[in-house]
Amino acid sequence: NAGVMQNPRHLVRRRGQEARLRCSPMKGHSHVYWYRQLPEEGLKFMVYLQKENIIDESGMPKERFSAEFPKEGPSILRIQQVVRGDSAAYFCASSPGRGRFEQYFGPGTRLTVT
Amino acid sequence: DQQVKQNSPSLSVQEGRISILNCDYTNSMFDYFLWYKKYPAEGPTFLISISSIKDKNEDGRFTVFLNKSAKHLSLHIVPSQPGDSAVYFCAATLQGGSEKLVFGKGTKLTVNP
């Protein structure tokens, strides 16, 4: 029973490039969440999606960041024109919904912007 | 504005003794609380949770206590083992809301053999 999968595990981008982070939820889970962790900080909520719908994007920066969870395939977090401040660990989590609030996390993608 | 606070950045205990990790929250609307354990370079692992209708939940060596009037919860680990050494995050959410988790900054637990 595979857990939440994220790829790539490490991503290096130069300033101005685009970063695409992928997340496949656990089997049977229809809710996907993205969180960001800066050094020495806790995880900060970014966005909550269900298939083909963004439910809550209150934690997403207004510009350059977008997320999707298509009918087929993984959820994608896209960061355009990356800046050094985007360097962080990005974690995806999934939950089955239906009154279950535990979220199960993937191993994360560590983004480094040079 | 830190809605979930873990005021102890680190905690060191001896193997076999009890570890107590504390967490305070400011938003009285939170009604579901979770603890996660995180090793370096890995994602958080869910440990245990508690709903606001309870004041205690137990799972093996892990027990979570909730004091709603004080807006305080704690995680007890008994007995502590060296493999428990990790960063522990407290998180809170609102049932019926977007279900996003609000995390504290974490407490680094070191269990000494």
Tens digit of each residue's pLDDT (9 = 90 or more) over A56-72: 999 999 999 999 999 98
At B73-108, the pLDDT tens digits run: 999 999 999 999 999 999 999 877 778 999 999 999
What tokens appear for B26 in the block?
């400011």
Q: Which residue has the higher pLDDT, A99 or B83?
A: B83
Within 13 Å and on the Cβ side, how many CA atoms surround A87?
11
Residue where the block lists tokens 């995806």: A92
Nearest CA in chain B to A49: B98
Distances (CA, A) of A34 to A59, A103, A106, B36: 9, 11, 10, 16
Q: Provide the 3-class DSSP secondary structure of residue A90.
A: strand
Is A43 in Cβ contact with B103 (below 8 Å)?
Answer: yes
Q: Provide the 3-class DSSP secondary structure of residue B82.
A: helix
Query: Nearest to residue B13, comparing CAs of B83, B90, B80, B64?
Result: B80
DSSP state, A25? Answer: P
Do A105 and A93 contact (CB within 8 A), yes or no? yes
At B21-72, the pLDDT tens digits run: 999 999 999 999 999 999 998 999 999 999 999 999 999 999 999 999 999 9
Q: Report the residue from B43, B49, B102 with minimal CB separation from A105.
A: B43
Query: Nearest to residue B70, comparing CAs of B26, B103, B8, B101?
Result: B26
**Is the model's pLDDT at A1 over the cut of 70?**
no
Q: Provide the 3-class DSSP secondary structure of residue A86.
A: helix
Nearest CA in chain A to B88: A42
Q: Does A104 touch chain B (CB under 8 A)?
A: yes
Residue B103: its chain A contacts at CB < 8 A?
Answer: 35, 42-44
